[in-house]
Amino acid sequence: MKRYQICCIGAGYVGGPTMSMIAYQCPHIDVTVVDISQARIDSWNSPSGDLPIYEPGLRELVLSVRDRNLFFSMELDEAIENADMIFVAVNTPTKMSGLGAGRAADLTRWELSARRIAAVATTPKIVVEKSTVPIRTAEAIASVLTASGRTHFSILSNPEFLAEGTAIQDLQNPDRVLIGTNTEDPCSVEAMNVLVDIYSHWVPRNRILTTNVWSSELSKLVANSCLAQRVSTINAVSEICEATGADIDEVANAVGLDKRIGVKFLKASIGFGGSCFQKDILSLVYLCESLGLDEVAEYFYWIVKLNDHQKERFVFRIIHGLFNTVTGKRITILGFAFKKDTGDTRESSAIEVCRRLLHENAILSIYDPKVQSSQILSDLGHCTRLDPLELNQHVSIYADPYEACNQSHALVVCTEWDLFKELDFERIYCQMEKPAFAFDGRNILPHERMKSLGFVVYGIGKPLDK
Ligand code: NAD
């Protein structure tokens, strides 16, 4: 009997982990993940398990099912034609030019995928929107798919809510799975039931929500906006704390213990990063502007503005702390990923902090346990437009945190890696120039202990030492 076949277009941070989980939970289904990047596919197939992305638990998961019922391939057409269900998990970044530049989501890759499916498919397919897309994308995709008239397509929206760093945990035990469909079309409802069945292999039925397509598409944008809004709110409060002497951790705890508010996502920091929050808020802003909902657009836009402001004022604090100049001073950047437990640097706050410090002629020593040196240099080359030679004169990347602290004037924590809490600060203090400064952009260092060693410590939203 023919086994059920799933294909996923896009072998990235979403396509790779989500399809690995489906293959693991559903041994009766064959899952093929395809991509246009040969390097990515080669890496997913690497015999040593050297995967293209770092995510706790991912390597073990992939190795347990790869070549059993999980396959990574460059053969897009073959995978599309064989599939009963096609997930599309390609990237949908913010448009960089043209109409809607800096706001709207760039759907070029989505449309290319849909056109490829339409050109290749000869048997009925269920097409699942896995990427985050603006509301009413399914409608546009449907018209591309059905234009060929060769076969029938059912379109479902199934946005992904995993968070990088906890992706496997989130996929294994999701708060909810959301499936949107056109409830007036019996074929779409049938397709929805097939997808519900797949998830039901491991997700309790009461956590699988079904809605109309538009609600599903909009919910993903709103979920990310709400999460980012909490971050911007607590970061705004951190500025009030610094101006008044209140302590942000005490305030967050007191506020979060109210069950209506909750303690999660109330951690002050140098601001959110990652490939999703900003682009999804901007996409929502663009939607509101297109609908003439200017006040709503402005409301959401302020989340992004406050995030930029938080990064900016953190850098000002570093410069002011270092006697108003960082020219020629060595500064150690601890963490370059946008959050802990990932090697992803997309929209990482560290990039903006480094960019501004380089602009002020600082010399940077950078350490991150999971980000490749080539990625750091590429990100910094891109944002500073310095050529590789100039960059090498101003930036050194270390594989050891202690070496990165040698002869440094200041430590700057950009990512909340757990290992930073456990560093030997006595040893680090001895290696550093004096006075030795620490600017903790994540409030994870042992501030009191460090102060007793002689460090001058700055925490986000923390009372300033007189
Ligand atoms: P990604 O950049 O890591 O992966 C996308 C992959 O798609 C890339 O490998 C790219 O080569 C491939 N691709 C692009 N065009 C293609 C085409 N025409 N044919 C075949 N492959 C193609 O992106 P991601 O982080 O996995 O995000 C994918 C989508 O999921 C985005 O819409 C994003 O907003 C959403 N999302 C991401 C996360 C996250 O944490 N990263 C979480 C939830 C939702």
Please give the DSSP secondary-structure letter assigned to residue 2.
Answer: P
Q: Which two tokens stand for residue 247?
A: 């302590």
Checking if the pLDDT of 82 tops 80, the result is yes
- Alpha-helical regions (H) of 178-212: 186-199
Measured in angstroms, how far is the CA atom of residue 29 from the centroid of ligand 1? 22
Read off the pLDDT of each residue in 386-390 and give the average, rounded to a whole number. 91
404-422 burial, b at 16+ Cβ within 10 Å, e below that, comes to bbbebbbbbbbbbbeebee
Decide: helix, strand or coil at residue 366: strand
Q: Which residues pair with 70 in a beta bridge?
A: 31, 66
Measured in angstroms, how far is the CA atom of residue 34 from the centroid of ligand 1? 11
Is residue 442 within 8 Å of residue 416, measured between CB atoms? yes
Residue of 32, 90, 141, 341 with the most ligand 1 atoms within 8 Å of its CB, for mutation: 90
Read off the pLDDT of each residue in 5-30 and give the average, rounded to a whole number. 98
Between the alpha carbon of residue 411 and those of residues 322, 461, 464, the distances in Å are: 11, 18, 17
Read off the pLDDT of each residue in 245-252 and give the average, rounded to a whole number. 97
User: In this structure, which residue's CA is closest to atom 21 in ligand 1?
Assistant: 35
pLDDT at 63: 98
pLDDT at 439: 98
User: In this structure, which residue's CA is closest to atom 29 in ligand 1?
Assistant: 131
Binding residues: 10-15, 35, 40, 90-94, 131-132, 160-164, 220-224, 260, 267-273, 276-279, 338-339, 346, 442
Please report how many Cα atoms fall inside a 13 Å half-sphere around the Cα of residue 432, on the Cβ side: 29
Instruction: State residue 126 phi and psi, 5-degree precision.
Output: -100, 125
CA distance 331 to 410: 5
Q: Which two tokens stand for residue 317?
A: 């604090």
CA distance 52 to 17: 11
pLDDT at 77: 98
CA distance 149 to 110: 19
Relative to beta strand 85-88, strand 70-73 is unpaired
Instruction: State residue 295 phi and psi, 5-degree precision.
Output: -65, -40
pLDDT at 348: 98
CATH 3.40.50.720 location in the chain: 4-203, 214-466
pLDDT band at 51 (very low <50, low <70, confident <90, very high): very high
Which of 114, 121, 162 lies closest to 138, judged by CA? 114
Binding residues for substrate: 160-164, 220-224, 260, 267-273, 338-339, 442
What is the residue-averaged pLDDT of the chain?
97
Residue of 91, 168, 222 with the most ligand 1 atoms within 8 Å of its CB, for mutation: 91
**Percentage of the chain exceeding pLDDT 90:** 97
Which of 33-47, 117-131, 394-408, 452-466 has the least mean pLDDT?
452-466
Read off the pLDDT of each residue in 49-64 and give the average, rounded to a whole number. 97
User: In this structure, which residue's CA is closest to atom 27 in ligand 1?
Assistant: 91
Checking if the pLDDT of 465 tops 90, the result is no
Decide: helix, strand or coil at residue 343: coil
In CATH, which superfamily holds the domain spanning 214-466? Answer: NAD(P)-binding Rossmann-like Domain (3.40.50.720)
Measured in angstroms, how far is the CA atom of residue 106 from the centroid of ligand 1? 12
Binding residues for NAD(+): 10-15, 35, 40, 90-94, 131-132, 164, 276-279, 346
Is residue 270 within 8 Å of residue 349, measured between CB atoms? yes
Q: Give Cβ neighbours of residue 96 (< 8 Å, ≥ 6 apart).
A: 102, 106
Checking if the pLDDT of 60 tops 70, the result is yes
Please give the DSSP secondary-structure letter assigned to residue 403.
Answer: H
Residue of 8, 14, 76, 221 with the most ligand 1 atoms within 8 Å of its CB, for mutation: 14
Instruction: State residue 302 phi and psi, 5-degree precision.
Output: -65, -25
261-295 burial, b at 16+ Cβ within 10 Å, e below that, comes to eeeebbbbbbbbbbbbbbbbbbbbbbbbbeeeeee
Catalytic residues: 276
Determine which helix (DSSP H) or strand (DSSP E) holds 102, and give its type and residue range.
none
- Residue-wise pLDDT tens digits, 302-313: 999 999 999 999
Q: Which residues pair with 71 in a beta bridge?
A: 32
Q: Which two tokens stand for residue 63?
A: 């190795």
Measured in angstroms, how far is the CA atom of residue 72 from the centroid of ligand 1? 15
User: In this structure, which residue's CA is closest to atom 6 in ligand 1?
Assistant: 10
Checking if the pLDDT of 1 tops 80, the result is no
Read off the pLDDT of each residue in 262-268 and give the average, rounded to a whole number. 96
List all residues whose CB is within 6 A of at least one atom of ligand 1.
Answer: 9-15, 35-37, 40, 89-92, 109, 112-113, 131-132, 160, 162, 164, 275-276
pLDDT band at 179 (very low <50, low <70, confident <90, very high): very high
Measured in angstroms, how far is the CA atom of residue 94 from the centroid of ligand 1? 13
Dihedral sign of CA atoms 186, 187, 188, 191 in order: positive
- Residue-wise pLDDT tens digits, 402-413: 999 999 999 999
pLDDT band at 47 (very low <50, low <70, confident <90, very high): very high
pTM of the complete model: 0.96
Ramachandran region, residue 199 (left: φ > 0; alpha: ψ -120 to 50; beta: rest):
alpha
Measured in angstroms, how far is the CA atom of residue 164 from the centroid of ligand 1? 13
- Residue-wise pLDDT tens digits, 328-349: 999 999 999 999 999 999 999 9
CA distance 69 to 62: 10
CA distance 139 to 40: 30
CA distance 107 to 379: 23
Q: What is the CATH number of domain 4-203?
A: 3.40.50.720
pLDDT band at 215 (very low <50, low <70, confident <90, very high): very high
Beta strands in 74-199 (DSSP E): 85-88, 125-129, 153-157, 177-181
What number does the ligand 1 atom closest to the CA of 131 have?
A: 32
Q: Which two tokens stand for residue 276?
A: 């999703």
**Percentage of the chain exceeding pLDDT 70:** 100
CA distance 397 to 375: 11
First vs last Cα of the chain: how many Å apart?
A: 76
Residue of 275, 282, 284, 345 with the most ligand 1 atoms within 8 Å of its CB, for mutation: 275
Checking if the pLDDT of 253 tops 80, the result is yes
Determine which helix (DSSP H) or strand (DSSP E) holds 250, and give its type and residue range.
helix 248-256
ipTM above 0.90, yes or no: yes
Which amino acid does the sequence have at 25? Q
CA distance 53 to 14: 10
- Residue-wise pLDDT tens digits, 148-171: 888 999 999 999 999 999 999 999
Read off the pLDDT of each residue in 93-103 and give the average, rounded to a whole number. 96
Checking if the pLDDT of 466 tops 60, the result is no
Decide: helix, strand or coil at residue 128: strand
Q: Which two tokens stand for residue 431?
A: 């290696």
